[in-house]
């Protein structure tokens, strides 16, 4: 354990940020899985709704630095492609 007060505080704040980042990343992955599940069930309306939610979560994760810009782009593109396949576009 650190002896310096500033380092102790840094450890605590980094733990808090880590927990928040992991929670948000988990919710983002859940949103992605919901889109994929609705695509497998060929439920277009639900897939479109879930795609909007997943896109918001991916964008927010990219904005806050949880994931990188290209990763966010790739994930959104893949999800949109899957939804478009079942919509017949």
Q: For 29-82, what is each residue's pLDDT tens digit?
A: 999 999 999 999 999 999 999 999 999 999 999 999 999 999 999 999 999 999
DSSP string across 30-86: HHHHHHHHHHHTT-HHHHHHHHHHHHHHHHHHHHHTSS-HHHHHHHHHHHHHHHHHH
Give me the domains of the chain, ranges plus CATH numbers. Answer: 24-87 (1.20.58.110)
Contacts of 82 (CB under 8 A, 6+ apart): 35, 36, 39, 47
Please tell me the pTM assigned to this model: 0.86
Per-residue model confidence (pLDDT) at position 31: 97
């Amino acid at each position: 354990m650190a002896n310096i007060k500033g380092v102790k505080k840094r450890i605590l704040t980094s733990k808090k940020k880590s927990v928040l980042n992991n929670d948000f990343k988990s919710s983002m992955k859940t949103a992605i899985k919901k889109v994929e599940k609705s695509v497998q069930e060929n439920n277009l309306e639900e897939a479109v709704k879930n795609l909007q939610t997943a896109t918001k979560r991916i964008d927010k994760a990219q904005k806050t630095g949880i994931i990188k810009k290209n990763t966010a782009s790739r994930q959104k593109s893949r999800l949109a492609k899957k939804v478009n396949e079942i919509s017949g576009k």
